[in-house]
Amino acid sequence: MSLSASATLERPAPQAEAARAAAPANDAPQVLWFDGELTEANRLQAALNTHALHYGSGVFEGIRAYATRHGTAVFRLPEHLERMRKGAELLGMSFDVAQATEAVLATLRANRQGDAYIRPLAWYGEGNFGLDVGGHPQHLMVATSSTNVHLGGNRTRVSVSKWRRNPASSLPALKLCGAYVNSILAKREVKARGFDEAMFADDDGFAVECTGANLFIVRDGRVTAVEHRDALPGITRDTLIRLIGAESRPVSMEELLDADEVFACGTAAEVTPIGEIDAGENHAGERGSRVYDAESPLAREIAAVYARTVRGESTWSSGWLTEV
């Protein structure tokens, strides 16, 4: 594996671990930011005729904040909100990135959280039934929840779904609410078969992505980011490409199954080694599957690089962290 000069394969620094441990516990009611105001979450209700509830007319992001030795910081916040702006624009919504930025920071401060998952959501609200969004109010919410998920988590078992990923020519690869029914169907299917996560492949036999995470392979010490026109251009994926100097290109299912290691990455998944892939039957009726190296050594080293970066212990960190 060829690492960028600034990326070192080390575990998170003790200062970062101490900062995470020192983040204050907060038993107060959770606070949300909703349409310009902070309010207790249990005081809010959605109208039953909310357009997004019926038709999926909303856009969201998944963002992470981390406890660092300088306090809580949000990882790559501008990039997440810029992607959200593109989705809102596609739906005809107005979206103020500066307002959304302050909403995220204000919500984290109000909830006094260190390690946290952040969910901004913009959607069309109450009004008449029908697909036309005209006349429906636009809403913006930010919710946060504390998380104790550790980087470089347990290996996961993956199965290729019978469903195909939404083609980008029909539904752009953005975090549009309605688009995620595709992921729900795939996840339900493979969970019923006893697997943890679903993977999408296309009709030409190329890997696409998981339901909410991008894919990387390792072969002979070389790391490759799986590229596909229908996959979400993930921010974590971009981070890893920059950190470790990985190439990005299409990867066939045959090549993926022949790799030394495979791992998934995303804001929620962070860096997750894949222990097993069930690829289903090919056109010849042959079933393909693979169990990978139990240690996933490079995936875990890459997870350590990522951990240092999100917690402010890398030379890359200063350009990617927004202090709360």
Average pLDDT over residues 272-294: 78
CATH code for the domain in which residue 79 is found:
3.30.470.10
Residue 11's pLDDT band, with cuts at 50, 70 and 90, is very low
Comparison of pLDDT for 12 and 200, the residue scoring more: 200
Q: What confidence tier does 10 reach under pLDDT thresholds 50, 70, 90?
A: very low
pLDDT at 19 over 60: no
pLDDT (0 to 100) of residue 13: 46
Same domain, 64 and 204: no
Residues 161 and 291 occupy one common structural domain: yes
- Structural domain including 298 reads 156-168+180-311
Residue 212 belongs to a domain with what CATH number? 3.20.10.10
Is the same domain home to 142 and 160?
no
Q: Are residues 238 and 276 in the same domain?
A: yes
State the Cα–Cα distance between residues 308 and 318, nearest whole angstrom: 12
* Structure confidence by residue, pLDDT tens digits, 213-259: 999 999 999 999 999 999 999 999 999 999 999 999 999 999 999 99
Total number of domains constituting the chain: 2
DSSP letter for each residue of 212-250: S-EEEEEETTEEEEE--TTS---HHHHHHHHHHT-EEE-
Residues 39 and 117: their CA atoms lie apart, in Å, by 18
What's the pTM? Answer: 0.89
Closest CA to 6 of 290, 242, 300: 242
H or E segment to which residue 254 belongs: helix 253-257
Q: What is the pLDDT of residue 282?
A: 52
The total of other beta-carbon atoms located within 10 Å of residue 257's CB is: 16
Residue 88 contacts residue 95 (beta carbons within 8 Å): yes
* Percent of the chain whose pLDDT exceeds 70: 87
Task: State whether 104 and 186 are in the same domain.
Answer: no
